[in-house]
A and B are shown apart, each in its own frame.
Chain A
Amino acid sequence: MKKLSWLLIIVVFIPLLSGCWNRRELNELAIVAAVAIDKAGDKYLVTAQVIDPGQVSTNANGGGRAPVTTYSEKGNHIFEAVRRMTTTTPRKLYFSHLQMLVISEEVAKEGMNNTLDFLTRDPEFRKDFYIVVSRDLKASQILKNLTSIEKIPAQKMRSSLETSQKAWAPTVAIQMDELISSLTSEGNNPVLTGITIKGNRHKGQLMDNVEKINQDARLKYINIAVFKKDKLVGWLNEKESKGYNYIKDKVENTVGPIPCESKGELIVEVIRSKTKVKAKFINGHPRIDVYVSSEANIAEVACQIDLTDPAAIKKIEANTDKVNVDILQTSIKKAKKLGVDIYGFGEVIHRANPKAWKSLKNNWDQEFVQLPVKIHSNFKVRRTGTVNQSFLKKE
């Protein structure tokens, strides 16, 4: 019994001899906030935006330096480029807190698949970072722009994208898991928001940019990129992006103009919106019905209208329905022109009638171009704000 207890004690202490593997102190980490992937000749150019904690923290001891640093390296594959970066970085990169991934248009046109495998396979990457495509610029230049209010530019990009998605219909925020699921599904194709720099981007890389009231260069989200599987084929403009978001039921809150009976417009703020997509088969051919029901408040009135009159409200609702249908149809037309089903209509048909889908799926992109889509809009006005009639009415 005594021997057994001594043996147990030795067994308990042996694991301590192995040391603490996997131990990384906080000051051994290089926290990567954003990654940009470009093409440089045949190779990939990977840029990482690393946070400098001493410059970001609230107790500013030694300000004046930039809050982030970027490191770039080339490589045939992404992981190779990341590891080659250790020749320049003071610490090994830590990707668990990645906020944004920026892919350049070039890489997107060639096909994203090769770049994405590393990002999904490595356990250090989370699935909740946003992916955007840089428009007209190299992706690495996006990362070098300094931002006001948010010290870390990647943080600004992320919060801007999230806020914009909730408050403005044409913006969509795609995370890694959603991207992968729309890539691999047969009846769906991915989209990504585009990002660009408005202003003089060379000046945007200097500290001067954030020391002024009116900055020289700001990051801005613009348009939505359309992908056919993993290759970029085109862009949707603002109106078409709005339509896309309505059909995908991603609209939480947005604002849009409605024409009045008399001349002028009024602005409604959509507070709730729900879209249902249903597939029907008529004579063996599929047909899609999109039911959009939304509720809104009247936000801004720039025309002569009596808001206390229920008939006027009804007219506004009818006009809005027409406007909605128009927006969605424009979007679908553009998608058909590009020949890509980005709305997931294929998936809906698959769910409705799996047998028919089997014969349709091989040719789906062509079938999509001829697919009849009918939009039904049901719009209701809920409130008119704190004023009943606009003071503009009284002449």
Chain B
Amino acid sequence: MSLFHIIKKNAKRKTMQSSENEDAISNELLTGIFSEDLQRITKTFEKSSDVGFREFTIGNEEKTKAAIVYTDGLANKTSIQTFILDTLMNEPKQLENRKETLYSSTLFDWVKNSILTVSTILEIKDFESLYINVLSGNTVILIEGYKVALVASTADWEERAISEPTAETVVRGPRESFTENIRTNTALIRRKIKDSNLLCEQKQIGRVTKTDIAVMYINGIVNDKVVDEVHTRLDRIDIDGILESGYIEELIQDVTFTPFPTIYNTERPDVIAAGLLEGRVAILIDGTPFVLLAPSLFIQNFQVPEDYYQRADISSFLRMLRIVCFLISLLGPSFYIAATTYHQEMLPTSLLVSLAAQREGVPFPAFVEAIIMEITFEILREAGIRMPRAVGQTVSIVGALVLGQAAVEAGIVSASMVIVVSITAISNFVFPAYNMAISIRMLRFGMMMLAASFGLYGITVGILALLLHLNSLRSFGVPYMAPFSPLIKEDIKDTIFRLPIKYLVTRPRLISQNNNKRNTTPTSSKPEPRK
């Protein structure tokens, strides 16, 4: 058997073993014996000094033992002191109430229903959920003699304030972006959509990190099958940690072997709200401001939220510009290489003479020149991102210009190649979706190789292969190239150009379940001429 197969077999065996071990550590329930339970919890958190314990007695009369477990830094100590300890330890009034009801309810129910003034209370019975809740910032209250523990929500920690989005800036439109706290993010979305049909289902994914994931959609508009599919795929994930939405994206996407993203991600609430209104499903992950949106279409990568905030003619023009930049970015150097090495007859004579003059004395063939320049630009670009702020901007711009100029003067590359590469690099930045922009940069190298080997014929074959691949992609069942193929005429109104909102009457047909007219404003809004 080949090495490849042996490695695969071993990997499979290991995953199976670990899951067996998991089942062995069964989820033990609380015993009800206060000292034992407390000792067990103390032992688990023996070496974690930030988990705090507080034993106390409830009430003056009965003096029942109780304890709270919380994590310092995640739990709000003031609310613990004010709402839990204060109410439980000092209860002169409640005592009389309880006496009057003749002790009809248990201490536990009485504490839960009447005394604790916290906004959310849960009951838990096993140690696993106890640990999860303590480590999520909630406070767990153990009462002697009861097999059930109470969880009070007291989570409050330091986090980044809502700021402007870094990767998706607009000139006109809201400037808030998501933060790392999932509750803040759901709140931001709720502020945009105040409908009761906006549902927010929560789950936890990741064996060790136990990250909170929220799935939001508008019931009635969304396609139920897509929601079911999202849930199925999320439940299928078995990984130890989810740190960013990128993990989830890779684990639930339709096809992994493609340079095109089939799940959209953004850090702007208005984009998510617009997607939800069209019938898409949003997946929020705690710990990252980038929220996923499924299903996603190819044309979404060309759309910016600002398109809908500016007027229709401006937006249409900018959209077409983006498409032109996409083509330039993908095919620019390839066309140059193909035209100057294979198809010189296509160039006008004076241009040909000019280009030939520049190439005199250049040692490398056009393809090698192009590769050198492209890789240099990629290096500069990556360096510009990673460099500390102060130095970053100047070095990347000046570096590019000076390098290009110096290379031309040294005779390593020709000036026209520097121009072509700069234009393609700049047109790449016009592209709003960052992950798509990177994909195009990668594909550009493939196209250059095809152009250098087979000329225009190679470029045509490359474009055909790309088109075939794009058309075969599906995002959660929706064809990736909709509304172009299959051709849906009503949806074309919002693709290459954007018609005024008056004409955007229906929702995208393949994404939403109910094609209810989302917009029935009468198209003519001029006032009647005065008589």
> Chain A interface (Cβ within 8 Å of chain B)?
15-16, 20, 22-27, 29, 31, 33, 51, 53-54, 56-59, 94, 96-97, 99, 124, 126, 152, 155
Chain A min CB distance to B456 (Å): 11
Chain A min CB distance to B365 (Å): 5
Q: Are A54 and B453 in contact (CB under 8 A)?
A: no
Partner of B353, one of A23, A51, A59: A51
**Complex: A51 Cα to B350 Cα, angstroms:** 11
Partner of B359, one of A15, A26, A51, A59: A26
Q: A20-B453, A27-B362, A99-B349 known; A54 and B357 CB under 8 Å?
A: yes
Q: Are A20 and B454 in contact (CB under 8 A)?
A: yes
Nearest B residue to A56, CB-CB: B353
Chain A min CB distance to B238 (Å): 25
Chain B min CB distance to A23 (Å): 5
Q: Which of A31, A53, A59 has the most CB of B within 10 A?
A: A53
Chain B, 350-383, CB within 8 A of any chain A CB:
352-362, 365-366
Extra 10 A-B pairs, beta carbons < 8 Å, given A25-B365, A97-B349, A155-B349: A20-B341, A22-B342, A23-B342, A23-B455, A24-B341, A25-B341, A26-B359, A31-B349, A31-B353, A53-B356
**Complex: A54 Cα to B349 Cα, angstroms:** 14
Partner of B345, one of A23, A97, A99, A155: A97
Q: A27-B359, A53-B357, A53-B360 known; A126 and B342 CB under 8 Å?
A: no
Chain A min CB distance to B356 (Å): 4
**Complex: A355 Cα to B340 Cα, angstroms:** 54
Chain B, 435-489, CB within 8 A of any chain A CB:
452-455
**Complex: A22 Cα to B454 Cα, angstroms:** 9
Nearest B residue to A19, CB-CB: B453
* B345: chain A residues within 8 A (beta carbon): 96-97, 124, 126
Q: A20-B454, A26-B355, A31-B353 known; A54 and B341 CB under 8 Å?
A: no
Partner of B357, one of A22, A56, A126: A56
**Complex: A113 Cα to B508 Cα, angstroms:** 67
**Complex: A53 Cα to B344 Cα, angstroms:** 14
* A15: chain B residues within 8 A (beta carbon): 453-454
Q: Are B352 and A31 in contact (CB under 8 A)?
A: yes
**Complex: A99 Cα to B358 Cα, angstroms:** 22
Chain B min CB distance to A232 (Å): 30
Q: Are A96 and B342 in contact (CB under 8 A)?
A: no
Q: Are A25 and B452 in contact (CB under 8 A)?
A: no
Q: A20-B453, A25-B365, A27-B360 known; A96 and B344 CB under 8 Å?
A: yes
Closest 5 CB pairs of A and B: A57-B357, A53-B357, A53-B356, A96-B345, A26-B359
* A126: chain B residues within 8 A (beta carbon): 345
Q: Are B356 and A26 in contact (CB under 8 A)?
A: yes
* B357: chain A residues within 8 A (beta carbon): 53-54, 56-57, 59
Q: Are A57 and B354 in contact (CB under 8 A)?
A: yes
Interface Cβ pair total, 8 Å cutoff = 71
Chain B, 395-437, CB within 8 A of any chain A CB:
none
* A29: chain B residues within 8 A (beta carbon): 344, 356
**What is the total number of residues of chain B having a CB less than 8 Å from a CB of chain A?**
23
Nearest A residue to B340, CB-CB: A26
Q: A20-B452, A25-B365, A27-B360 known; A57 and B353 CB under 8 Å?
A: yes
* B366: chain A residues within 8 A (beta carbon): 25-26
* B355: chain A residues within 8 A (beta carbon): 26
Q: Which of B344, B353, B359 has the most CB of A within 10 A?
A: B353
Chain A min CB distance to B196 (Å): 49
Q: A31-B356, A56-B353, A56-B357 known; A26 and B344 CB under 8 Å?
A: yes
**Complex: A22 Cα to B366 Cα, angstroms:** 14
Nearest A residue to B416, CB-CB: A26
**Complex: A241 Cα to B142 Cα, angstroms:** 116
Chain A min CB distance to B379 (Å): 26
Q: Are A23 and B341 in contact (CB under 8 A)?
A: yes
Chain B min CB distance to A98 (Å): 9
Nearest B residue to A151, CB-CB: B353
* B349: chain A residues within 8 A (beta carbon): 31, 33, 97, 99, 155
* B354: chain A residues within 8 A (beta carbon): 53, 57-58
* A31: chain B residues within 8 A (beta carbon): 349, 352-353, 356
Q: A25-B365, A31-B352, A97-B352 known; A54 and B360 CB under 8 Å?
A: yes
Q: Are A94 and B344 in contact (CB under 8 A)?
A: yes
Chain A min CB distance to B404 (Å): 16
**Complex: A279 Cα to B342 Cα, angstroms:** 50
Q: Are B342 and A25 in contact (CB under 8 A)?
A: no
16 contacts between A and B (CB under 8 A): A15-B454, A20-B341, A20-B452, A20-B453, A24-B344, A25-B340, A26-B359, A26-B366, A27-B356, A29-B344, A51-B353, A56-B357, A97-B344, A97-B349, A152-B353, A155-B349
**Complex: A15 Cα to B458 Cα, angstroms:** 11
* B356: chain A residues within 8 A (beta carbon): 26-27, 29, 31, 51, 53
Q: A26-B344, A97-B345 known; A53 and B452 CB under 8 Å?
A: no
Nearest B residue to A98, CB-CB: B349
* B361: chain A residues within 8 A (beta carbon): 27
* B362: chain A residues within 8 A (beta carbon): 27
**Complex: A57 Cα to B360 Cα, angstroms:** 11
Chain B, 308-344, CB within 8 A of any chain A CB:
340-342, 344
* B359: chain A residues within 8 A (beta carbon): 25-27
* B453: chain A residues within 8 A (beta carbon): 15-16, 20
* A94: chain B residues within 8 A (beta carbon): 344
**Complex: A155 Cα to B348 Cα, angstroms:** 12
* A26: chain B residues within 8 A (beta carbon): 340-341, 344, 352, 355-356, 359, 366
Q: Which of B340, B354, B355, B356 has the most CB of A within 10 A?
A: B356
**Complex: A124 Cα to B365 Cα, angstroms:** 22
**Complex: A155 Cα to B352 Cα, angstroms:** 14
**Complex: A124 Cα to B342 Cα, angstroms:** 12
**Complex: A96 Cα to B352 Cα, angstroms:** 11
* A25: chain B residues within 8 A (beta carbon): 340-341, 359, 365-366
Partner of A22, one of B340, B352, B455: B455
Partner of A57, one of B341, B358, B454, B455: B358
Q: Are A53 and B353 in contact (CB under 8 A)?
A: yes
Nearest B residue to A22, CB-CB: B342
**Complex: A326 Cα to B98 Cα, angstroms:** 133
Chain A min CB distance to B3 (Å): 15
* A23: chain B residues within 8 A (beta carbon): 341-342, 365, 452, 455
**Complex: A128 Cα to B155 Cα, angstroms:** 81
Chain B min CB distance to A65 (Å): 13
**Complex: A155 Cα to B360 Cα, angstroms:** 22
Task: Mark B38-67 against chain A: 1 for CB-CB distance below 8 A, else 0.
Answer: 000000000000000000000000000000
Chain B min CB distance to A390 (Å): 43
**Complex: A302 Cα to B163 Cα, angstroms:** 83
Chain B min CB distance to A69 (Å): 14
**Complex: A33 Cα to B342 Cα, angstroms:** 19
* B452: chain A residues within 8 A (beta carbon): 20, 23
* B352: chain A residues within 8 A (beta carbon): 26, 31, 97
Chain B min CB distance to A17 (Å): 11
Q: Which of A23, A24, A29, A99 has the most CB of B within 10 A?
A: A23
Nearest B residue to A158, CB-CB: B349
**Complex: A96 Cα to B344 Cα, angstroms:** 8
* B342: chain A residues within 8 A (beta carbon): 22-24
Nearest A residue to B364, CB-CB: A25
**Complex: A202 Cα to B447 Cα, angstroms:** 53
**Complex: A53 Cα to B361 Cα, angstroms:** 12
* A58: chain B residues within 8 A (beta carbon): 354
